[in-house]
Amino acid sequence: MDGFEELLRENLPALERFVKFRISNLQDAEDVIQETMEKAFLKFGSLKDEAAFKPWLIAIARNLCRDHYRNAAKNLEVPLETIPEPALTVGLHGRAEEPPVSETLELLREEERRILTLFYLKGMPQSEIAKKLGIPVGTVKSRLHYAKKRFKEAYAGPEKKGEKEMKKLPEIMPDYKITPVNEAVFPVKWEELMGWFIVPKLGEKLSWAMYDFPERKRTELCEMEVLGKAMVHGIEGVEIRSVEYDPMECNSAGGQDVVERHLIAQLTDTHCRMLAMSYTEDGVKRFYTFLDGDDFLDNWGFGEDNCGNEVDLAPKGDIKKDGGVITTADKKFLLDVVGRYKVEINGKEYDTVCVVDHATYMEGEMVTTEQYIDREGRTILWRRFNHDEWAFARYGKRWTEMLPDNERITVNGETYVHWYDCITDRIL
C-alpha cells in the first residue's frame, strides 16, 4: 500500500480543506477526515486509475459529510426526504446553501433559534452551551426539547428541488440515429444561449441533462428559468437561474452536489451573448462579467470581444464536414452550419441542421462540438468531442486510451474522441 500512502500524503491538504469548509465543528471535521482515510484505504484496491485518486477521495469525503448532516437532520426530527442534501451545509463563513432550515429558524423566537444553532449546527455540547448562556444544564435540556418541537411544527417541508424534472429526463441516454439529408439546409433563427440551451426571453424555462459515454448514464442535470430583466454595466439583458444537480467536478463550485448560478444574458436581433455569471462557493458570492477580459471569455463568452453567437444561422464555408472528417478555416472563433440531418431520438424524428463549433479553450485545449438544431431554432442533440491530448497534463492519458470504445472523428487531420452528449426536455 505504499502507493496509497504517497497519494494520500499528496492530497491530504485538499481533503482537509474540503471537509473543514463543510463542517465548522473541528472535532466533527477531524472525525470525517479520519473516516474518509480509513474508507479510502479499504477501497483503494478498487480504484482502477490512480490518476483519479483525488476526485475519488473527495467523493468519499463528500458522501461522509452528507451523512454527517443527515444525522443532524435526524436529531432535529425533520423527515430526511423533505430536506435537500445541502440544506444543513456549514461553510467557512457560516451556514450556506440551507434556505429551508434557515428560513424556519427565522420563524422561531430568538432563544429557540440560538440554542438550536449552537447545539445542532455549531455542534456545541450542552455543558458548553450552559456556560456560554449562563444557565443550568437542565435549562439547556428543557429549552432544546421545546425548541426542537417548535422547529418541527414550523418546518413546512419544501418540495424537493428538481423532483419533477429529474423524473422527466431519463437516467440512460436514449438511443439515437443521425442520418445525412441530401437537401439544402433551411434558414434557422437560433436564439439559444450558447452551451446552455435556453432562450434569454421572459417566461422561458427548460431542463437539460448530460450523459457520459460509453456508459450513457446521466451525470448532470440542469434546470433553468428566466427570472426577469437585469442590467450589467449599463447593458440590459435578463437574469437566468440555473440549478445544476450532481455537476461534474469542474462545475461543482468547490465540490457542491447542487450548484445554483445566476446568468445575465442579452438577446439582440443579431447575437445572443452572456453578460455576467455568479455563484456561491464556500460562502462567498462570486461575480464575473464581460468586462473581466479573458478570465470571462475563456469560460463564459464567445466571439471577438464577446460579441456572442450569431442568431441567423447559414453556411459560411468556414467548416466542412464529410462523415467523421471535419476541416476548418484558420480562425480563432469557428462556428458554422455544416449540413442537414435527420435525427431520430426517443421515438421521434427531427429535421435539423448541424452546427459545428471548433474552439481552443484554456491552455490551448481543443474541443469540437456538434449541435443539431430543429426548424424552430431549438437544440435536439448536442455532442462533444475532445482532442486526443485534451487536458493531458491533468489526466496523464490520451482520450483514445481513456475511452477506447468511443466514437472518433478527425478535425484537420487530428484525432478527436466523443466524450458526452446533452439533450433537453424538448425531446420528451
Q: Please give the Cα distance from 144 to 113 (Å, whole number).
A: 10
Which pLDDT value is given to residue 49? 80
Whether residues 214 and 337 fall in one domain: yes
Which pLDDT value is given to residue 90? 37
Residue 178, pLDDT > 90, answer: yes
Domain containing 179 equals 168-427
276 φ, ψ (degrees, to nearest 5): -160, 160
328 φ, ψ (degrees, to nearest 5): -135, 160
Residue 25, pLDDT > 60, answer: yes
Q: What is the mean pLDDT of residues 108-129?
A: 80
Q: What is the mean pLDDT of residues 333-338?
A: 91
In a domain, 160, yes or no: no
Which pLDDT value is given to residue 201? 93
Q: How many structural domains compose the chain?
A: 2
Place of cell 468586462: 291
Q: What is the mean pLDDT of residues 307-329?
A: 93
CATH code (residue 69): 1.10.10.10
Whether residues 206 and 140 fall in one domain: no
Average pLDDT, the chain: 83
Query: Among 149-158, 351-360, 361-370, 417-426, where is mean pLDDT lowest?
Result: 149-158
Which pLDDT value is given to residue 24? 65
User: What does DSSP say about strands 258-267 and 271-281: parallel, antiparallel, or unpaired?
Assistant: antiparallel
Q: Which residue has the higher pLDDT, 183 or 103?
A: 183
312 φ, ψ (degrees, to nearest 5): -90, 110
13 φ, ψ (degrees, to nearest 5): -60, -40
Q: Please give the Cα distance from 82 to 152 (Å, whole number).
A: 12
Query: Among 73-77, 245-249, 324-328, 412-416, where is mean pLDDT lowest?
Result: 73-77
Whether residues 150 and 172 fall in one domain: no
Whether residues 181 and 119 fall in one domain: no
Q: What is the mean pLDDT of residues 122-140?
A: 86
Residue 392, pLDDT > 60, answer: yes
Whether residues 70 and 215 fall in one domain: no
Whether residues 26 and 107 fall in one domain: yes
Cell numbers standing for residue 238:
435578463
Whether residues 172 and 307 fall in one domain: yes
Whether residues 306 and 202 fall in one domain: yes
